[in-house]
Amino acid sequence: MDNKENKTKRRGLDAMFIVLGCVFALLFAVFALPMLGYVLNIGNILGMLFCALMMFVTFGHRLVGRAVSALWGSAAGKVVVCAVPVLFVLGLIYVIFLTGLIAGTNRTKPDPEATVIVLGCQVRGDHPSLMLWQRINAAAEYLDEHPDAVCIVSGGKGDDEQISEAQCMFDHLTAKGIAPERIIMEDRSTNTVENIAYSKEIIEREGLSEKTAIVTDIFHGYRASRIAADAGLECGSIPAPVSWYLLPTFYVRELVAITAVFLGLA
């Protein structure tokens, strides 16, 4: 009877690990999906590596169990076996903490008199990428609701872009009915720090409000707002949505970017 019960428990455990493995396989596919649109960055690389590791652990859980048993036979092995789950839990707590910072920033409403700053994103030829479209749409909606607001579109021209990100945003915002005189182009920047620094120069030159409303993706707002605050600008958030299949990749990428800021590496 005991033998049958043990077999039943093992089958149940095997089934649970198979289900978990399938979940990680699906998540691996989600991280890989952006590559069909030529998107490959630290976000989906780390995401795929983590999912691949978890697939090995779940589908090969019996092999992993034997390895853990072997390690447990020595003092150093015990340290390793105990350290892995502790580090995993600490990492999970850190990710939850960063997620809280990101979510909190997205709830920060801009001042009604704020100067709008739209942060650039990749242009494909002379058309906005999907993520840049989302920022343009969010900016257009806000500017429609606040007819006195002035907008700075910020983003330079990459080697693979036919026009600057600022020009692309200007063209599409005016096509949506936003008056050209309400839009100022900043077309020198190549990253978020420069976006903010050059936009601040325009704010000071034009005598605009140093209270700002930053338009960027839902995961990018915290880092952008932190950079703006360091530059002496008061900021609120206008978060732009992100397509579901891009969200995991760019979310992980942003976690890495925020960590680099904390460590003074960016």
Same domain, 57 and 133: no
Residue 116's Cβ-count burial label (10 Å; 0-12, 13-18, 19+) is: buried
Nearest to 118 by CA among 159, 164, 162: 164
Average of per-residue pLDDT across 12-39: 93
Question: 130: domain CATH number?
Answer: 3.40.50.620
Q: 14 in a domain, yes or no?
A: yes
Distances, alpha carbon 61 to alpha carbons 65, 125, 155, in Å:
6, 47, 48
pTM: 0.86
Please indicate, yes or no, whether residues 58 and 159 belong to a single structural domain of this protein. no
Give the domain-ending residue among 48, 71, 94: 71
- Residue 1: is its pLDDT beyond 50? no
Read off the pLDDT of residues 186-218 as tens digits, 9 standing for 90 and up: 999 999 999 999 999 999 999 999 999 999 999
Enclosing domain of residue 67: 2-71
